[in-house]
Amino acid sequence: MRREEGRPKHGQTSFTILGVGAASWFFFAMAIILPKWRVNYMGMLGYPHARSWGLFVVVGMETYNHHEHMGNMCRYFSQMAPGGLCMTPICLWYRTKCMVSMNMCAVCYATAFFFTLVLILHTLCLVWTMRLTPRLIRWSATWWCAQVVLHLAVTMFYIFMSADCFASLDNESMYPEPGFSWCLWMEGLVILCVTTNAIMSMTLMKMWPESSSDSSSGDSEDEDDDDDDAGAAAMGASAAGYPPSGGYPQQGGYPPQGGYGGPQGYPPQQGWQQQQQGYPPQQGYGAPQGQWQG
């Protein structure tokens, strides 16, 4: 009955979508904020300290944002190249680090920007599923599927671009590529949860199609229009002095005289007798036969 009327009701499928979506939202937000996308726990030659990279900061002995880290590397390079001449190995090394940190800053900030947009879409899909109307169910199903594509695209972009940046450093010196850490694994879990929600949202959209809601609303609107037209016709008839049905009631309670007179319900006093107009009465109407009233 509710499906025919287009009035969805929360059930096991919608509650599962909300539960999985809320948990994945939390993991996704933590993955964006925490600086554990790439980690080198062993350090490297000349720097025996762990270092980790997030989407916003680089954590080592000190913590810097990516643009601050880029500024430090480029400042060191400019200080080692007086007059623009960079001839020493240490100057060439910091020139490479300046360029790599600039690329890494662009990659991480771009990844964070697109992941933030996806997080907003994630929140909207949860709100649409909570409201649970046929149209919002269709919207949430569409954008859950779009989120799967966006998650995969942005994650692959970060993996390949960051790998290229660290490979450039390793070509100039002994700088092993940091391994992926648990922020990336949380992102993989989020992709799995979003894929599950996309499948269940498509199932929910099939359970509560938008067409049933449109047809039922269209039928109710047609019925309302018919009722309004009938009411308007009845009001117009009453305003004109005619009852809507059932004939004309006798006015004043006077029966016609002698079985003659005007139409049913109207006494002869209201002008229905033809004698008053100067015409001879016809057979069976007006005065008795043989009495002419000039």
Burial (CB count within 10 angstroms: exposed 0-12, middle 13-18, buried 19+), residue 255:
exposed
Q: Judge whether residue 121 has pLDDT over 90.
A: yes
Residue 228 has a pLDDT of 55
Residue 115 has a pLDDT of 97
Residue 230 has a pLDDT of 53
Question: How many residues can be counted in the chain?
Answer: 294
Q: Judge whether residue 288 has pLDDT over 70.
A: no
What tens digit of pLDDT does each residue of 262-278 get?
445 445 444 444 444 44
Q: In angstroms, rounded to a whole number, what is the distance separating the alpha carbons of residues 290 and 209? A: 83
Burial (CB count within 10 angstroms: exposed 0-12, middle 13-18, buried 19+), residue 188:
middle
Residue 200 has a pLDDT of 93
Q: Which residue has the higher pLDDT, 116 or 207?
A: 116
Smallest CA-to-CA distance from 135 within 258, 8, 280 is with 8
Q: In angstroms, rounded to a whole number, what is the distance separating the alpha carbons of residues 249 and 244? A: 12
Residue 223 has a pLDDT of 52
Per-residue pLDDT averaged across 233-262, rounded?
A: 49
CATH number of this structure's domain 2-50+107-210:
1.20.140.150
CB atoms within 10 A of CB 123: 13
> Which phi and psi (to 5°) does residue 180 adopt?
-75, 145
Residue 163 has a pLDDT of 93
Q: Provide the token pair at 149.
A: 């594509």
Residue 287 has a pLDDT of 45
Residue 51 has a pLDDT of 87
| 265 DSSP 8-state letter | T
**In the structure, what pLDDT confidence band is assigned to residue 132 with cuts at 50, 70 and 90?**
confident
Residue 13 has a pLDDT of 87
Per-residue pLDDT averaged across 41-49, rounded?
A: 73
Q: Judge whether residue 1 has pLDDT over 90.
A: no
Q: Provide the token pair at 16.
A: 């599962």
Residue-averaged pLDDT of the chain:
78
CB atoms within 10 A of CB 89: 10
Q: Judge whether residue 34 has pLDDT over 50.
A: yes
What tens digit of pLDDT does each residue of 63-113 get?
999 999 999 999 999 888 887 788 888 888 889 999 999 999 999 999 999
Taking a C-beta distance cutoff of 8 angstroms, is the pair 49, 188 a contact? Answer: no
Residue 134 has a pLDDT of 87
| 275 DSSP 8-state letter | G
Considering only 133-142, 202-211, 238-247, which range has the smallest mean pLDDT? 238-247
Q: Which residue has the higher pLDDT, 221 or 56?
A: 56
Smallest CA-to-CA distance from 203 within 129, 123, 120, 119 is with 129
Q: Provide the token pair at 222.
A: 């047609």
Domain segments of the chain as ranges? 2-50+107-210
Burial (CB count within 10 angstroms: exposed 0-12, middle 13-18, buried 19+), residue 82:
exposed
Q: In angstroms, rounded to a whole number, what is the distance separating the alpha carbons of residues 132 and 87? A: 67
- Axis-axis angle for helices 12-33, 89-131 (nearest 10): 160
What tens digit of pLDDT does each residue of 157-211 get?
999 999 999 998 888 877 788 899 999 999 999 999 999 999 999 998 888 787 6
- Tell me the β-bridge partners of 40: 51
> CA–CA distance from 118 to each of 11, 38, 239 (Å)?
26, 21, 62
